[in-house]
Amino acid sequence: MNQDARYDAWSAGRHYENYMGRWSRRIADQFLKWLEPAPELDWLELGCGTGALSSALLSRAAPKSVVVTDLSSDFIEHTSRLISDPRVIFQIADAQKLPFEDACFDVAVSGLTLNFVLDKHLAISEMQRVVRPGGTIAFFVWDYPDGGMGLIDAFWKAATSLDPAASALDEARRFSFCTREGLIDLCRSAGLTEIETSAIETQTGFPDFETFWLPFTLGAGPAPGYCSSLSEDGLLALRNALGELVGTDGPITLPARAWVVKVRQPV
Torsion angles phi and psi, residue 72, rounded to 5: -85, 115
CB of 61 to ligand SAM, least distance (A): 15
CB of 240 to ligand SAM, least distance (A): 27
- The reply to whether 218 sits near ligand SAM by the rule CB under 6 A is no
**Residue 25 or residue 209: which is nearer to ligand SAM going by CB?**
25
- The reply to whether 52 sits near ligand SAM by the rule CB under 6 A is yes
88-117 positions binding ligand SAM, by CB under 6 A: 94-96, 111-113, 116-117
Please choose, out of 35-43, 49-57, 211-219, 258-266, the segment that lies near ligand SAM by the rule CB under 6 A.
49-57
CB of 263 to ligand SAM, least distance (A): 18
Residue of 110, 118, 117, 114 lying closest to 137 (CA atoms): 110
**Residue 49 or residue 224: which is nearer to ligand SAM going by CB?**
49
In which order are the strands placed within the sheet that holds 252-264? 88-92, 65-70, 42-46, 105-111, 131-142, 252-264, 195-206
Residue of 73, 136, 75, 69 lying closest to 97 (CA atoms): 69
- The residue within the footprint of ligand SAM, chosen from 13, 21, 224, 225 (CB under 6 A), is 21
DSSP at 246: H
| Cβ atoms < 10 Å from Cβ of 233 | 8
Question: Alpha-carbon distance 7 to 108, whole Å?
Answer: 27
**Residue 140 or residue 209: which is nearer to ligand SAM going by CB?**
140
Burial state string for 240-266 with b = 16 or more CB within 10 A and e = fewer than 16: ebbbeebeeeeebebbbbbbbbbbbbe
Question: Alpha-carbon distance 112 to 74, whole Å?
Answer: 17
- The reply to whether 20 sits near ligand SAM by the rule CB under 6 A is yes
- The reply to whether 4 sits near ligand SAM by the rule CB under 6 A is no
Footprint on this chain of ligand SAM (rule: CB under 6 A): 10, 20-21, 24, 46-49, 52-53, 70-72, 75, 94-96, 111-113, 116-117
